[in-house]
Structure 1
Amino acid sequence: MKYEALAKSIIENVGGTKNINDVTHCVTRLRFKLKDDSKANTNFLKKMDGIVTVIKSGGQYQVVIGNHVPDVYDEIVKIGNFQTSNQELDNDTNIFNKFIDLISGIFAPTLGTLAATGMIKGFNALFVALGLLTIESGTYQLLNAIGDSLFYFFPIFLALTASKKMKVNQFTAMAIGASLVYPTLSGLTAGEPLYTLFVGTIIESPVFIEFLGVPVILMSYASSVIPIILSILFASKVEKGLKKLIPDVVKTFLIPFFTLLVVVPLTFIIIGPVAIWAGNLVGAGTLVIYNLSPVLAGLIIGGYWQVFVIFGLHWGLVPIALNNLALYGFDPVLAMSFAASFAQTGAVIAVFMKTKEKKLKSLSIPSIISGLFGVTEPAIYGITLPLKKPFIMSCVAGGIGGAAIGLIGGKFYMVGGLGIFGITNFLNPVGGNNATVLGIATIVTGSLILGFILTYLVGFGKLYEDETIIAKSINEGIVGLGDEVYIVKDTIESPLKGSVVTLSDVQDEAFSSGAMGKGIAIDPVEGKLVSPVSGEITMIFPTSHAVGITSDEGTEILIHIGMDTVKMNEEGFIPHVKQGDRVIKGQLLIEFDIFKIQDAGYSVITPIVITNSKDYLDVITTDKELIDPKDQLMTIVI
């Protein structure tokens, strides 16, 4: 419930539930797929407390929240009754955006656990390097099993996440993934092959088994990435075709039956080998570029990494890195980006030390903490990018750090923790030279210091001209309350001339307690009640002492003239409208005789309440003491 108001406001300002095709989240961002981006109130969202910024990238409308994004996401799913699985992109989304969305949707759900298992494996390697464990010990073996578990059986996990993106039965997809790592098949490669295909080429392949007379090229799919994604993509087409052919009464078991019989053999015969060969080419290509100039490669990747993160392009490098880990046991690509988060953190520390803006200082502290643990989005979107110069300086420092990592030959041997926990990623779990780890620690420390020095020396301007957000006019659809900004849903004009009375001072507990809704009251000096909004008369009491109006914006308003005036049996009241009438602001609704009401012993204090006020974030009432018709009485905000 802590983030309920924030979640409601986000939904409303991305165009409402009807404008949302899908919503997911990663480490710091809500990722919306909207039917129409133009319906989103981007400028307002960027200014909301609790939101770092908003970006559009990879076919997604991304709302950057920070480290508590899972809690906000849960509230959004609950309020909007959304599915927690992804949907397909709209047909008009370009191919590049589809690719980035596909990759992020498949890999993002695994990253937390992948990092956790990688950290366990990294610390296990550290314990061996320090002589605290031996590789023969049971403790090492069990920890290694935990560390290897997800990555070794990666095809099964990716099958699950890919099935959500491609609308395939999840258990059918997992069965396809499990078949790729079925242990018995890997044991069939012992001994002499039946024959060899593609002899003398770079894809020469021994054949040990056949399927219905067709040669099957057995390969190791443990930790592989590309084969299972292509298999699930193919399975999505097969399932879609089968749904059109198979009767509903037997779909439950016949669709997975035929899907598995078609997809699994074709994966082993064609998809898997082709995907492995393609992966080998990609892996070899990245190593060629790396070996040509590790320093230049590190300078580019380290320098542009934060830019990649902004546009979501870093997702395109994730499968390459995982493919390299599966093929070679190491990856230099992500390794060269490692210093970037420390450079970014150093820049934020400089901002914290130099700025005199209290709000900027308060934003910097959580950004520094997040940055030290490798999560830099709050720093980028909330501080360095808006200030411009600190972001540029962090990129310079990150590039120099990346070049230094390339120079000493730093490589990831696992995908583990981020930030300071990521140093263990450089430990080789099977032994070898781990001396580079000390060099990596020195480089990232230097990148942090360099980011700090450059930012401090170059300087930066003000992020907030004022310590509070200046309220914009009601006509612009935004209202400010202290340092908070809200979007205006509706404005209610005064229906009477008189003195303003707080609702709690009304001598009727049904109104004063707020049970009827939030609102305000007026002690009238003139017996004319006019419409405070344009809308429809949804109710008028037979005695004409009370009227209900629903505005064009959906606000439900109850106006009750006087206290206990129902007992006057319509005497002293002249209605000018009836139920169902369309009215406009300022239109005369009811005339009433103030003196006759008072002579009868009743108060004329008139409550005006918003009966559906629970649907809104707040009802802001006027601070005027005297009010005239058409003066603004209440503001409905969301």
Structure 2
Amino acid sequence: MQYQQLADEIIAGVGGRENVLSVVHCATRLRFKLQDETRAQTEALKANPGIIMVVQSGGQYQVVIGNHVSEVYAQLVARHNVGQEGEPAVAVKKEPLFARFIDMVSAIFTPFIGVMIATGIIKGLLALALVLGVMRPETGTYQLLFVASDGLFYFLPILLGYSAAKKFGGNPFVSMAIAAALVHPMMIAAADQKASLRFLGIPLEILNYSSSVIPIVFAAWVASRIESWVHPRTPGAVRNFTTPLICLMITVPLTFLAIGPAATWLSQMLAQGYLLVYSLSPAIAGAVMGAIWQVCVMFGLHWGLVPIMLNNLATLGQDTLLPLLMPAVMGQAGATLGVMLRTRDIKTKAMAGSALSASLFGITEPAVYGVTLPHRRPFILGCLGGALGASVLGFWHTTIYSFGFPSVFTFIQVIPASGFDASVYAAFAGAAIALVFATLTTWAWGWPVEKPVQPKVAEETSEVSAAAPLMQKDVVYSPMSGSLLPIEQVADETFASGLLGKGAAIVPTSGRVVSPVNGVVSSLFRTGHAIGLTADDGAEVLIHVGIDTVKLDGQFFTPRIATDDRVAVGDLLLEFDMVAIQDAGYDLTTPVLVSNSDDYVDVLTLTSHSVTACAPLLSVLK
């Protein structure tokens, strides 16, 4: 399903544009704030093949899309004029305090979390290079890469100032100016020299606010409150500069006098409180975090832990919480691998394979929502594996020295300046325990025993009849001539994963598409590149000419039918200019799918090489 249509269906499913207060996105999901969640059509959205799962948590209505969420978000913004909180002029309803806290944290950190993870990975690679002796800290190469990895974290208050102001409804550039004052070289030098400064005779406590998290968030909130009071009371001719002037004149001194020291004290208490809890039993702390982390991710509650991790890094220079989460990721990866090895269902196997690779890099939503959670037992075994592995990391006090999200990259981020030690080896051991335990237990006990499935490819229709003599079958004929390609090899994960249905793909040799069934044209995409048919026997067939050809916006496609037209096998549906489309740089591989495959026992491909138009292509077993 193309991103434009999916964006339209999501907007309709959440209750329409007028029901959307705001929307942001993270790595895999759209996070809506809705005026009224009861207006959302949750079950219809869950049934949409382009959506993995819908989660309502933390005051957010979360639509899990997958790795292409940014493209869907771009279409939402372009086609429906929705965006981040603060942009829509709709009153936000009251939410429970904890839900508002989670929503606030996710809105503040989501916009730049990916870049922060990238810089953490660079810092981990530099640590590995130093340990292996392939780089020295005094070289220009090392120093240039180090500032690339450290610059964002050093000036983190400025980024937080922007996103916090957006969340609180203030002017983001005012908050950025406040943050810049906190990390100005003059103030950093004064803090290092423990200089004695006064403001209007009041002594200042000068602290080093580089890499700090909490002070600027409080300062941005105060500035937004001042702005909301001053702005409407200022003459329109001068408010563009007088409102920021008043905000800066009040908030900057107030931050250095009170907000900053108080927030810094709170930061230190938070870090010391975490260390106290962790020190009681690191192994038990690891087991608990390893077991519940994926549950927190499911409901969006993991954002509540992000400030603790960042605060530990800013206050202590290291963090022991984040490493405990890595085995939880490996546990779900192991459960997904166990499903992939155990199942004989091609669609499930393909979905598990793509979800496994994403999980190793820290994106577990496709694995959880698409593979392990729907069958419960694999998800539970993955959480148990995470608990076992994380207890090992906790026992050996594995520590991380740069920010990231738990993934395979965590291994390089736990290397201390002194080189490899027991805590680093414990990271590898804990991850291996989680992965292997979840894989083996899922393979042995986490998946129901399946009866052998029939071969996916049969040379003749008669072979399918012999393989399934008790099943009725319908035939979908080929809509074009060309060479056949297994659907799993299509260069588009949405089609290859089977999420849109089972079928085959054809690399065409002519620019004509004919009807593969007797039935009705149920949908004709505006751009003409895709056609949906409903056969008389009930099969819903999607013909999608090319990959990403929706971007051509109808150019080079000439439909010969209209929606609701009745067609018979062989009737001309569409003509397209093969040469022009290929010259434009597009892949002409054409998926032919039975989009309601779940309504049938199976969908089998009847040939394995080339095919001609109107020859048998798919057998739909009832």
Q: TM-score by structure 2 length?
A: 0.72
Residue-by-residue CA offset, 1:119-160 (whole Å, 9 max, x unaligned): 111111110000011122221111111111000100001001
8 Å contact from structure 1 (residues 77, 84) kept in 2? no
* CA distance in structure 2 between the partners assigned to 1:250 and 1:461 by the alignment: 71
Instruction: Give distance in 2, aligned partners of 1:41 and 1:372.
Output: 32
Q: Which residues of 2 match residues 72-471 of structure 1 at below 5 A?
A: 72-84=72-84, 90-189=92-191, 208-416=196-404, 418-428=406-416, 430-431=417-418, 434-461=421-448
In structure 2, the residue matched to 1:45 is 45
**Alpha-carbon spacing, 1:461–1:15, altered in 2? closer, same or farther (3 Å):** farther
CA distance in 2, matches of 1:154, 1:35: 32
* Inter-partner Cα distance in structure 2 for 1:323 and 1:125: 21
Question: 1:245: Cα distance to partner?
Answer: 1.8
Separation (CA, whole Å) in 2 of partners of 1:91 and 1:413: 40
Q: 1:115 and 1:482 mapped to 2: Cα distance?
A: 32
Comparing 355-364 with 88-97, greater Cα deviation is found at 88-97
SS at match of 1:32: strand
Between the aligned partners of 2:58 and 2:132, the Cα distance in structure 1 is 44
SS in 2 for 1:33: strand
Give the SS at the match of 1:336: helix
Range moving further from structure 2, 413-422 or 383-392: 413-422
Does the residue aligned with 1:249 lie in a helix, a strand or coil?
A: coil
The residue type equivalent to 1:172 in the other structure is V
Indicate the SS of the match to 1:24. Answer: strand
Decide whether the 8 Å contact of 2:49 with 2:500 is kept in 1. no
Counterparts in 2 of 1:172 and 1:462: CA distance versus 1, 3 Å? farther
- Give the partner amino acid of 1:454: T
Mapping of residues 496-575 of structure 1, within 5 Å: none
For the 8 Å contact 2:183–2:210, the answer to whether it is kept is yes
Q: Separation in 1 of the partners of 2:353 and 2:229? A: 54
Deviations 1:508-542 (A, max 9, x none): xxxxx999xx999xxxxxxxxxxxxxxxxxxxxxx
Preserved contact between residue 396 and residue 422 of structure 2 (Cα < 8 Å): no
Superposition deviation, residue 482 in structure 1: 9.2
Does structure 2 conserve the Cα–Cα contact (< 8 Å) formed by 1:106 and 1:165? yes
**Maintained 8 Å contact 2:107/2:167:** yes
Superposed CA deviations along residues 56-92 of structure 1, whole A, max 9, x for unmatched, are 0111110101111101111111111223455698232
**In structure 2, C-alpha distance between the alignment counterparts of 1:623 and 1:47, rounded to whole Å:** 28
Alpha-carbon distance in structure 2 between the residues aligned to 1:433 and 1:460 = 39
Letter in 2 for 1:321: M
Deviations 1:239-274 (A, max 9, x none): 001013211111000000010010010001000000
Q: Distance in 2 between matches of 1:97 and 1:142?
A: 41
TM-score (norm 1): 0.70
Report if the CA contact (8 A) 1:387-1:462 is conserved.
no
Residue deviations 1:398-434 (CA, integer Å, cap 9, x gap): 0111111001110111113641122111022x44654
Give the conservation status (yes or no) of the 8 Å contact 1:115–1:418.
no
- Aligned letter for 1:185? M
Instruction: Report the counterpart of residue 611 of structure 2 in structure 1.
Output: none
Query: What is the CA-CA distance between 1:334 and the residue it aligns to?
Result: 1.3
What is the alpha-carbon distance in structure 1 between the residues aligned to residue 527 and residue 297 of structure 2? 48
Is residue 323–residue 406 contact of structure 2 (8 Å, CA) maintained in 1?
A: no
**SS state at 1:179 partner:** helix
Letter in 1 for 2:361: F
**Residue by residue, what CA displacement relative to the aligned partner does 1:193-223 show, whole Å, maximum 9, x if unpaired?**
6xxxxxxxxxxxxxx1110011211111111
The CA distance in 2 between the partners of 1:514 and 1:246, in whole Å, is 50
Contact 1:341 1:371 in 2 (8 A): yes
Q: CA deviation at 1:333?
A: 1.1
Quick check: 1:416–1:424 contact (8 Å CA) kept in 2?
no
Q: Distance in 2 between matches of 1:160 and 1:370?
A: 30
Query: Which residue pairs with 2:615 in the alignment?
Result: none
SS of 1:248's equivalent?
coil
Amino acid at match of 1:13: G
Alpha-carbon distance between aligned partners in 2 of 1:39 and 1:189, rounded to the nearest angstrom: 53
The letter for the 2-side match of 1:174 is M
Kept in 2: contact 1:31–1:62 (CA 8 A):
yes
Q: How far apart in 2 are the matches of 1:373 and 1:339?
A: 12
Structure 2 Cα separation of the partners of residues 619 and 169 of structure 1: 49
Closer, same or farther: CA 187–65 of 1 in aligned 2, 3 Å: same
- Give the match's secondary structure for 2:190: helix
Q: C-alpha distance in 2, partners of 1:26/1:219?
A: 33
Match of 1:24 in 2: 24
Cα distance change, pair 189–388 in 1 and its aligned pair in 2 (3 A): closer
The superposition leaves residues 319-367 of structure 1 with CA deviations (integer Å, 9 ceiling, x where unpaired) of 0110010111111111111111111000001111111222211211110
Paired residues of 1:33 and 1:89 also in contact (CA < 8 A): no
SS in 1 for 2:62: strand
* CA deviation string 1:159-207 (max 9, x = no partner): 01111101111211110111110111122246676xxxxxxxxxxxxxx
Contact 2:520 2:565 in 1 (8 A): no
Change (3 A) 1:65 1:335: same
How far residue 439 of structure 1 moved from its aligned partner, in angstroms, is 2.7
Task: Tell me if structure 1 keeps the 8 A contact 2:212–2:311.
Answer: yes
Higher mean C-alpha deviation, range 35-44 or range 222-231: 35-44
Q: What SS is found at the alignment partner of 2:380?
A: helix
Task: Evaluate the alpha carbon distance shift between residue 178 and residue 462 of structure 1 in structure 2; reply closer, same or farther with a 3 A threshold.
Answer: farther
Helix, strand or coil for the counterpart of 1:298? helix
Kindly provide the amino acid, as one letter, of the partner of residue 287 in structure 2.
L
Determine helix, strand or coil for the equivalent of 2:23: strand
Q: Which runs of 5+ in 1 are unaligned?
A: 194-207, 468-480, 485-499, 504-512, 521-617, 626-638
How far apart are the structure 2 equivalents of 1:190 and 1:110? 29
Q: Give the secondary-structure state (helix, strand or coil) at the position aligned to 2:238.
A: helix
CA contact (8 A) 1:116 1:417 kept: no
Q: Offset of 1:47 from its aligned partner?
A: 1.6
User: Counterparts of 2:435 and 2:351 in 1: how far apart (Å)?
Assistant: 19
* Preserved contact between residue 519 and residue 621 of structure 1 (Cα < 8 Å): no
How far apart, CA to CA, are the structure 2 residues paired with 1:6 and 1:358? 25
Structure having the higher Rg: 1
- Aligned residue identity for 1:331: D
Please tell me whether the aligned partners of residues 127 and 413 of structure 2 are also in contact (alpha carbons under 8 angstroms).
Answer: no
Task: For 1:325, give the aligned amino acid.
Answer: L
Alpha-carbon shift at residue 502 of structure 1 (Å): 8.5
Query: Cα distance 1:173–1:93, how it changes in 2: closer, same or farther (>3 A)?
Result: same
**Is 1:63 the counterpart of 2:56 in the alignment?**
no
Looking at structure 1, the residues matched to 368 and 527 of structure 2 have their Cα atoms a distance apart, in angstroms, of 44
User: Does the aligned pair in 1 maintain the 2:519–2:566 contact within 8 Å?
Assistant: no
8 Å Cα contact 1:122-1:416 kept in structure 2: no
